[in-house]
Amino acid sequence: MLEQHRQQKSKRKSRLTVAKFGGGVIGKNGENIPLVVERIKTIREISDAGPLVIVSASKELTSLAIKVGEEYAFSGVGELTLLSNPYVWIKDSFMKEPYKSNFIHELSDCFKKVKRALGQIAENKEFINVNRARVLAYSGEVLMGIALSYVLNSYGLESTHVQIENWPIVTDKNFENANFLEEESRLRINHLVNPLEDGKIVTMGGYIGRTKDGLETTYGRGGSDKTAANITMLLKDVYDVTLDFEKSSIVLSADPKIKNIDRKELEEIHYLSYNEAILAGQFGMKILTPSAVRDVYEAGYDIPMVITDFRNPKHTTWIGREVDINGDSIKIVTGKKNCALFSLDINMRKSFRDYMKKIKRFHDFYELATDEINRKSRFLLLDGEFAKRNEEELKAFDEYATVEYGLAAITLVGDRMAEAPGVVAESFVAIKERYPKLNILDGTIQRPTSLILLVVSDDDAEKAVSAIHATRNYVNKKVKLADYYTMFTGNLGWSVI
C-alpha cells in the first residue's frame, strides 16, 4: 500500500518517509529492536532518501524516569540503574564493534547530564521544568535515538543520529508542554537534509525540544507523534514526504479492550480525514496523539500520513485532509474518561475560550448547551487532571463557577454524520435498550465538525461505547440505503427510509 501510494505521487522531489516508532513497538528494554530494523530496511527500499526515524523511549522507561525524578525530589536518592540497564542490554544484544565502544561513551555522557539534573532536583526538591526535561531526554528519547543509530550501523545500514546541539525542534520555554516554533526550527533543517542527501538513515528522539537558548523542553504526553509531524512539516518543501506511524495495530472502529465489545463487529478503518483523526484522538483513541495531526491541519498543509501495523505492514490506516465522501457515517465510537464539567457566567464565555487556547494552550475542551435558566456557559474539559491542577485559576473567572469531576465523554466520529439525521436518537435508544438504568447526563451535536457528544459517568463509559458500537453497522447501512434512494428521489431519500 505504501509503495503504491509513493508511485502515484510527484516525481519532482526525492521520496522520503519520516517513520515514527513508539515505545510499545520498541518493546520493554528494546526487545523488538530487530523487528524495527527490518521495518526500516523495508521502508528504505521504497524511498529515495533516508528514512528519517523518530523514536520514543522503550516501553515503560519514561514512567520509570518520572518515578526516579520524583524520588530524588522527595528524598534525594533513587535507583538510577533502572534507567541505564535497558541500554546496556541493547548494547550487548544488538551492537557490534566499533559501534559498541562508541555507544558506551555516549551512554556515559548522557547519564552525566541525568545525574547533574537529578542533583539540582534533589537540591531544589522539585521535579519540574528544565531539569525534569533533561532527566527524561537523556535517559529516554535522545539516548534511544543514539542507540538505534549504532544498532543500524551494526546491521550494515549506514546511519547517523542528530546531535543535541543541532536539535531541529525549537520550542518556547513551556518546559513540560512546549509549543513548536516552526520558523525558528526551519533554520536548522540542514542538520537533517545534509546526512539524508549523503545517503544515510537519520535517527532522533521524539518528545524533546530545545529553546533558542539551548534549554531542553518536552512536549506533552504522546509527544513523539507530534515530533514526527513537526519534522515532516519542516521537510515537506524539500522532499516528497510521507509520515508513517509504526504502531502495534491500525485504527479500529472501537477499542477492543472495552468490556462487552463484540469482536466480530469491530472493523478496520482504512481512511480518516484530519478532522476525524483529531476528534478520535481527543476522545480516547490512543493509537495517535491528536496534536500531531492538529499541527499539520492548522498549518494548512496536506501531508499524507499512514498508521502501519508494524508486524503486518499490509494493514494500514491512511490519514489525509480530504473528506471520505464514500465512507461510513459512523467510523469510530470511542470514549474519554476522567473529564470535568466547568460552568461559569455566560458573559465570561469568550474570555474563557481565549484564555484556554491562547494562554494555557489547551485545546481539548468543548462547549455544551448553555444553561439558559441560570445563565451559565458549560464547558466539558477532556482532561480532569488539568482541571484539578488549574481549578483555582479557572474559578477566578467567576466566583460562582463550579467544576464537576468523574465524567466521561462518549463520541461518534465521522465526517458524514451531518448527512445522517437521527444518529443521536439512535445512540440514545441503543444505550437505553441495553442498559435501561444508565443515565445520559448530557448530549450535543458540534457543528461544523459533525461531532456527536454524550456525557455519562466514568463508571458507565464502557457500557455506553459498547451499546452504541453494537448499532454502528445498522446505522451505517441505513445511511447508505438512504443515499441509494436519494439518487432516484432527491431529498426524499431519508423520508423513504
What's residue 420's pLDDT?
66
Q: Are residues 236 and 359 in the same domain?
A: no
Q: Which residues 6+ apart lie within 8 Å of 400 measured at CB?
A: 344, 345
Q: Are residues 90 and 237 in the same domain?
A: yes
Identify the band that residue 487 occupies on the pLDDT scale cut at 50, 70 and 90: low
The three state secondary structure string of the chain is CHHHHHHHCCCCCCEEEEEEECHHHHCHHHCCHHHHHHHHHHHHHCCCEEEEEEECCCCCHHHHHHHHHHHHHHHCCCCCHHHHHHHHHHHHHHCCCCHHHHHHHHHHHHHHHHHHHHHHHHHHCCCCHHHHHHHHHHHHHHHHHHHHHHHHHHCCCCEEECCHHHCCCEECCCCCCCCECHHHHHCCCHHHHHHHHCCCEEEEECCEEECCCCCEEECCCCHHHHHHHHHHHHHCCCCEEEEEEEECCCCECCCCCCCCCCHHHCCECCEEEHHHHHHHHHCCCCCCCHHHHHHHHHCCCCCCEEEEECCCCCCEEEEECCCCCCCCCCCEEEEEEEEEEEEEEHHHHHHHHHHHHHHCCCCCEEECCCECCCCEEEEEECCHHHHHHCHHHHHCCCCCCEEEEEEEEEEEECHHHHHCCCHHHHHHHHHHHHCCCCCCCEEEEECCCCEEEEEEEHHHHHHHHHHHHHHHHHHHHHHHHHHHHHHHHHHHHHHHC
Q: Which residue has the higher pLDDT, 446 or 38?
A: 38
What's residue 443's pLDDT?
76
Identify the band that residue 5 occupies on the pLDDT scale cut at 50, 70 and 90: very low
Q: Are residues 240 and 342 in the same domain?
A: no
Q: Are residues 339 and 213 in the same domain?
A: no
The predicted-structure confidence for 247-279, as pLDDT tens digits, reads as follows 999 999 999 888 888 888 899 999 999 999 999
Identify the band that residue 352 occupies on the pLDDT scale cut at 50, 70 and 90: very high
Q: Is 289 a member of any domain?
A: no
Of 218, 248, 278, which one is at a domain's C-terminal end? 248
For the record, the C-alpha cell of 483 comes out as 443515499
Q: Looking at this protein, which amino acid is placed at residue 293? A: V
Q: Are residues 242 and 338 in the same domain?
A: no
Of 187, 213, 248, which one is at a domain's C-terminal end? 248
Identify the band that residue 359 occupies on the pLDDT scale cut at 50, 70 and 90: confident
Q: Is 294 a member of any domain?
A: no
Residue 496 has pLDDT above 50, yes or no: no
Residue 475 has pLDDT above 90, yes or no: no
What's residue 10's pLDDT?
46
The predicted-structure confidence for 63-107, as pLDDT tens digits, reads as follows 999 999 999 999 999 999 999 999 999 999 999 999 999 999 999
What's residue 421's pLDDT?
65
What's residue 287's pLDDT?
81
Q: Are residues 26 and 152 in the same domain?
A: yes
What's residue 478's pLDDT?
73
What's residue 159's pLDDT?
98
Q: 338: domain range?
A: 332-496
Q: Are residues 186 and 39 in the same domain?
A: yes
Q: Is 288 a member of any domain?
A: no
> What is the average pLDDT score of the chain?
91
The predicted-structure confidence for 321-332, as pLDDT tens digits, reads as follows 998 888 888 899
Q: Is 325 a member of any domain?
A: no
- Percent of all residues in the chain with a pLDDT value above 70, rounded to a whole number: 91
Q: Is 315 a member of any domain?
A: no
Q: Are residues 337 and 243 in the same domain?
A: no
Q: Specify the range with the lowest mean pLDDT, choosing from 1-10, 191-200, 254-263, 338-347.
A: 1-10
> At 84, which CATH number?
3.40.1160.10
Count: domains in the chain: 2
Q: Is 318 a member of any domain?
A: no
What's residue 361's pLDDT?
82
The predicted-structure confidence for 307-317, as pLDDT tens digits, reads as follows 999 999 999 99
The predicted-structure confidence for 371-398, as pLDDT tens digits, reads as follows 999 999 999 999 999 999 999 999 999 9
What's residue 488's pLDDT?
57
Of 248, 274, 302, which one is at a domain's C-terminal end? 248
> At 434, which CATH number?
3.30.2130.10
Closest C-alpha to 281, from 476, 413, 416: 413
The predicted-structure confidence for 107-127, as pLDDT tens digits, reads as follows 999 999 999 999 999 999 999
